[in-house]
Structure 1
Amino acid sequence: MNPVTVLPVPVFSTLCNEGFRLRREVFIVEQNVPGDMEFDADDLTAFHFVAILSGEVCGTLRVIYAEDFVRIGRVVVSLAWRSKGVASAMIRHAMEAHRDARDNRFCLSAQSDKTAMYERFGFKTIGDEFFEVGIPHYEMRNF
């Protein structure tokens, strides 16, 4: 498999819009997340990343600077490219790019079946499992 290219992209750029399209495809269509809950005001100020493989945007995530930590969110990979290291490449890239912010402290809300992947990056579950848009999640932090 070709290496994954992960790029920071400006909001509403062509590549970012491809990432938004992928978010709609995965969250709204595949996972039945309500459309009005998927996109929010944070998208306007977030740092967006896309993963490209074989010339197509196959993954995306966003990074938000919260008060005490850097929040990684909206991590998606297209169905055809799952379990091929795309999400890991994006997480690695996002953490590297933002490690100087908030004392290198990161957090995220992980779908419960994805926690093992985040644990490889030093994240640990915090608190009890909860449901967000009907999907079980854990809050995770790397500190």
Structure 2
Amino acid sequence: MEVKIVETHEELEQAYHVRMVVFVEEQNVPAEEELDEFDKTAIHFIGYEKKQAIAASRLRFTEEYGKLERICVIKEYRGKSFGKELILAMEDVIKEKGYKKAKLNAQTHAEEFYKKLGYETISGEFMDAGIPHVTMIKEL
């Protein structure tokens, strides 16, 4: 998979499309909750496989953390380490910007996936968009 930072309006629309497919169509997140005010200022990532957009995420900076958000891979492409590639690309940008910690809110079914990438759970379970989550951090 080729992972890149979104640079054009077309790439941003493709990233939004991947997010809508995964979160709104598949996971029933309300569309009005999926796209929010933070999209305007976030760094967006897009993953391509054979020129098709198959993964997306966004990165924001809060306090002392790079905050990984909206990480998603189209269902047919899961289990091929594309999510890991996306996260590693995001962590590289966090380090390039001089931050030493990454933070994310993981859906609980993905908690083990993030633990394998070095993230540690720092919260109890909470609901976001009707889906159980936990907060996780990693020292970079």
TM-score by length of 1: 0.92
Structure 2 gaps, min length 5 = none
CA-CA distance at 1:101 after TM superposition: 3.4
- Aligned AA for 1:67? E
1:42 aligns with 2:38: yes
Quick one: distance in 2 between partners of 1:103 and 1:110?
A: 20
- Aligned AA for 1:47? I
| Residue-by-residue CA offset, 1:41-92 (whole Å, 9 max, x unaligned) | 1100100111110210100000001122110000010011011111100000
Tell me which residue corresponds to 2:71: 75
1:8 aligns with 2:5: yes
SS in 2 for 1:15: helix
Structure 1 gaps, min length 5 = none
Please show how residues 95-114 of structure 1 align to structure 2 within 5 Å: 95-101=91-97, 103-114=99-110
SS in 2 for 1:98: helix
Quick one: distance in 2 between partners of 1:31 and 1:135?
A: 9
| Residue-by-residue CA offset, 1:120-143 (whole Å, 9 max, x unaligned) | 222100121111111111100014
| Residue-by-residue CA offset, 1:15-66 (whole Å, 9 max, x unaligned) | 1211101111111111111111111111001001111102101000000011
Quick one: distance in 1 between partners of 2:64 and 2:93?
A: 17
How many residue pairs align between the two structures? 139
Tell me which residue corresponds to 1:54: 50
CA RMSD of aligned residues (A): 1.3
Contact 1:109 1:139 in 2 (8 A): yes
| C-alpha distance 138-102 of structure 1, shift in aligned 2 (>3 A) | farther
